[in-house]
Structures are given as C-alpha cells and as structure tokens.
C-alpha cells in the first residue's frame, strides 16, 4: 500500500504554497489535504472549542482528496486524522508557508503548530516555509529540497518526538547551497503594535513589528538561511527545560 | 519603587481565578491586568493579525489598573507591555486557570502561551492553574502556594529563558503536600472531535477528547499532582530538540 500523506497549512487551502506541496507529495503516495478555508497565520497551536467546525469537500479521489475547514491548522490535523483519512497517515506535511517560520516564529506559526501536533499524536511531521510572504511567490526554487526531505523522512523516519521546521531561502534551486541541520536563532519582535485612531476618534491597535535578530551565530537557522542554505531545525512538543530542574530544586522554590 | 506585575489569563478578565491572582499579586507590588474580554481557552501562542484590537479600561489607579482586550492572551501581554504598563514589568503572571495545564496541555493553553511570550520578551513569567475547570471553583486552597512562588520568583529570579508552569491539585491548602519541580508527563488527547448532524442534516464536528496519560512516572507533573503536590515545570520558548541535531546530521538529510 502506498504511503498516506496528510497536508495542511496556515495560509489557507487555496494558497499557492500548499498546491506546490501537494503536487510534490503526490509523487510519493496518496494525499489528503485538510486546510483552513481562510488565512490562519499566527494561530500557533490553537484549537477551536467554542463553536463547531464545518468542512467543505473540494476534491475526492482515492489518490487525492482536498477539504477546507473553518478551524485552525491544529484542528485540521486532528479532524483529518480521525475522520477524513482512509488510514493512519505515514507523514504529515505543512506548508509551503508563504514567509519564514525560522527562529522565534515557530512559536506563533499555525503551520508549525500543525506539525508539532503531528508529532504529539505520534506521526512524523515536517513543515516547509519559503522566505517570501508574497501570495504570488515563486515556489519553483523549493521543489528539489522539499522532494529530497520528504523522500528521506519517508525512508528513514525521524527521531522519536521530533518534527522538522524547514525554511528555504528565496533563491533559484541552483543557487541553494545545500541543507543544514540547525538550532533556532535567538530573536524577538519589537514594536509589536501600531496605535491608530478610528474615524470616530477611538483608539485601536494593529499587529505589526520589527524582527530583531542581530548576528545570528553559525549553526543557527538565521545564519544558515543568510548563507543560502535550507535550514532544518528539529523541534519537540515537550517544552520542559530539563536543565533547569536541578537549579530550581536548589532554589528551594 | 515597588515591583510591577502584569497579569493575564485565558478564561477572561471576569473569571474568578484572575481575581484571586490579582489579590495575591497586589501584596507584592503594583499590578496591571490586561486580559481577554471573553474566554480564550485553547488559544495557545496565537496572535491577532487580521483585525485591530480594542481595549476597555475597567479600573485605573496607580496601584491597580484593569483592562479587557478583544485579542488573545499573547496579544494581551504584548500590548500591555508596550502601551499600558507605566514601566517595564518585573514579572508576568497568568491564571489562575480554571482547569489543568499540566503535561501536553501546555501546548494548547492560552494561559501558558502568555507566560512563554513573557519569557520570549525577556520578562520572568509564571502560569498558575487549578485542577478544577468549574467557573465557580474554590481557589482558596491555591493561595499559600501561589503567594510562596510569587515571593520566591521576585526574590531570586528564574533561570535564563525559563518560565514556570505551576499546577495545583484540587485540595484544601492544608492537604497539599508541598511543591515538586517536575518534567511534563507524556500524554495525549484521544477522540478529539464528536461528529453530529445539525437540524438541516449537515455534519459538524465539535472539540471534545479524552485525556490519556497512563502511569505517569515519578518526577512528572501528573505524578506529582496525583500525589497531592503542586507541580512546577520549567518551560522554554526555544523548541529546538538539540539532542537530535547530530543524529539528523548523520542521516545525511
């Protein structure tokens, strides 16, 4: 039986990036796509609990089914695995995201939320992002790297409890230098909100922000991307900071 | 100058738990509360980018100001630090959550999203949760533990890049055995959605789920809570699984 690959994203089911990813995945197995009906960027690991979810079926063949859901990327993964996949998926893919999910952005990303959910429910998962947030971004430069990584993960699996955060520089395929396994660069967003006044004179605040990551060290994802490499960061759904357990014990908290 | 403590939650500004936490925090310093106007459980680390945010001021004195925001808990932290705090907070607190955020729940929790955001922007942060999700839960058993931990963190700080996920058993204060520094128990949610049919004959899916955590090992948060201890798990906003970097390099990914 062919591998079954479940695909989602946070840019929405009609985004260009998820169409590219679906085409590549279809070379490896049967594909189920379950993705948010609208943009769900920045949804992180959020779940929808206050209202029910609806699903629209866009395509249904044995090799490829495509569904749109009015929930978050994590809702999409949970719902698809339980109700829309004909068998348990061998792999969950998310993306290709329009824009970077490197460094601290993994915290906020709906795409990476879906990937981490995959690992949390015991299915190997990989998120792909292109460093170009334009809706009309050219994804052709990504294709060889995405194909290579999907093939390797299907062949070798992943370390237990680990998923991959893959970011791809905005370069033609033949200018990409290779793939680097990295750690997250330390970074933060400054000046997160802009304050404005509406036509009735009342204040409102809208998310904006400036990405602040100076001199990322060799070995970090921001460094690799700046050098023209694809960055691959292993991420884990267990947030425990094990190294601090003894230190906190000694503080007699 | 007294310490400034910023408080948020995910149950909403009018929840009983945040009122208890605000009263305890006010013993230690000036307090700014910025919390979601409605329930925002399960919002994880999500941000609001598609629309602007509005804020309602509920109370404004030099010692205590209370604001309600129509965004997520992470929005509340970012917005309050930039626009509503008279100086940089010394500590961010979230909760007291109505219901557990132990184990895998830290992934989905809006309360813990806010806490991890605090650490990501360089401010010590602690999330408190009571193992009782009833809106009318009795928080009196939590008070001594919450007071003790706030005092210790203000006095000693926290290890760099580490925040605390504190869960408190549903017991009277004099039956709580003490505080244990723990790691997350491995657990998962099964049967996430229930499928039903609406009055017009169309299907919908609503979030539910069964928490699955059998025989949590000694040292894990679920174990400590079952024994009657307060569990404290150090968590980190860097999701990199450092131990896998060499292994992935050897796979020639």
How confident is the model over B93-116, as pLDDT tens digits? 999 999 999 999 999 999 999 999
**Which residues share a beta bridge with B12?**
none
Whether residue A1 has pLDDT greater than 90: no
Strands B125-130 and B163-168: parallel
The size of the A-B interface in CB pairs under 8 A is: 215
ipTM of the complex model: 0.94
CB pair distance less than 8 Å for A248 and B232: yes
CB pair distance less than 8 Å for A53 and B248: no
- Whether the model clears a pTM of 0.90, i.e. scores above it, the answer is yes
Q: Nearest-CA residue of chain B relative to A212?
A: B121
As a whole number, the mean pLDDT across chain B is 96
pLDDT on residue B116: 97
Residue B100 contacts residue B137 (beta carbons within 8 Å)? no
| Facing B184 at nearest CB: one of A181, A186, A239 | A239
CB pair distance less than 8 Å for A110 and B46: yes
CB pair distance less than 8 Å for B149 and A122: no
CB pair distance less than 8 Å for B181 and A253: yes
CB pair distance less than 8 Å for A159 and B241: yes
Whether residue B139 has pLDDT greater than 90: yes
CB pair distance less than 8 Å for A82 and B192: yes
Output the CA angle A134-B44-A84, nearest 5 degrees. Answer: 75
CA distance A101 to A88: 27
Whether residue B252 has pLDDT greater than 80: no
**Which residues share a beta bridge with B4?**
B30
pLDDT on residue A191: 82
Average pLDDT estimate for A222-229: 97
Neighboring chain B residues of A244 at a CB cutoff of 8 Å: 159, 162, 234
pLDDT on residue A252: 67
DSSP A10: S
DSSP A62: S
Neighboring chain B residues of A156 at a CB cutoff of 8 Å: 251
Taking only the tens place, the pLDDT of each residue in B145-171 is: 999 999 999 999 999 999 999 999 999
Average pLDDT estimate for A103-124: 96
Average pLDDT estimate for A176-185: 96
Nearest of A206, A205, A214, A128 to residue A163 by alpha carbon: A128
Q: What is the DSSP track for B127-177? A: EEEES---TT---GGGHHHHHHHHHHHHHH---TT-EEEEEE-SS-GGG--
> What whole-number percentage of chain A has pLDDT above 90?
94
pLDDT on residue B250: 80
Token pair belonging to B185: 């128990």
How close is the nearest chain A Cα to the Cα of B69, in Å? 10
Residues B96, B102, B106, B108: what is their CA dihedral angle, to the nearest 10 degrees?
Answer: -90
The more confident residue out of A209 and A218 is A218
- Which of the residues B10, B37, B45, B164 would you substitute to probe the A interface, choosing the one with the greatest number of A C-beta atoms within 10 Å? B45
CB pair distance less than 8 Å for A241 and B78: no
Neighboring chain B residues of A245 at a CB cutoff of 8 Å: 181-183, 234
């Amino acid at each position: 039986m062919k591998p079954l690959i479940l695909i989602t994203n946070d840019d929405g089911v009609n985004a260009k990036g998820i169409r590219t990813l679906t085409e590549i995945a279809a070379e490896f197995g049967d594909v189920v796509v379950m993705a948010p009906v609208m943009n769900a960027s920045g949804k992180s690991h959020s779940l929808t609990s206050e209202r029910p979810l609806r699903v629209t079926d866009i395509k249904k063949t044995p090799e490829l089914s495509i569904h749109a859901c009015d929930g978050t990327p994590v809702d999409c993964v949970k719902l698809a695995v339980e109700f829309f996949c004909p068998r348990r998926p061998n792999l969950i893919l998310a993306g290709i995201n329009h824009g970077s999910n490197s460094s601290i952005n993994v915290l906020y990303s709906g795409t990476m939320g879906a990937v981490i959910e995959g690992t949390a429910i015991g299915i190997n998962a990989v998120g792909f992002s292109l460093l170009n947030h334009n809706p009309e971004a050219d994804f052709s430069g990504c294709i060889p790297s995405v194909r290579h990584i999907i093939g390797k993960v299907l062949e070798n699996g992943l370390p237990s409890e680990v998923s991959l955060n893959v970011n791809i520089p905005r370069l033609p395929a033949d200018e990409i230098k290779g793939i680097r396994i990295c750690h997250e660069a330390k970074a933060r967003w400054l000046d997160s909100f802009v304050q404005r006044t509406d036509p009735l004179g009342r204040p409102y605040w809208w998310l904006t922000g400036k990405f602040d990551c100076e001199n990322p060290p060799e070995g970090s994802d921001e460094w690799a991307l700046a050098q023209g490499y694809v960055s691959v960061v292993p991420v884990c759904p267990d947030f425990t900071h094990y190294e601090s357990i003894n230190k906190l014990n000694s503080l007699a908290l």
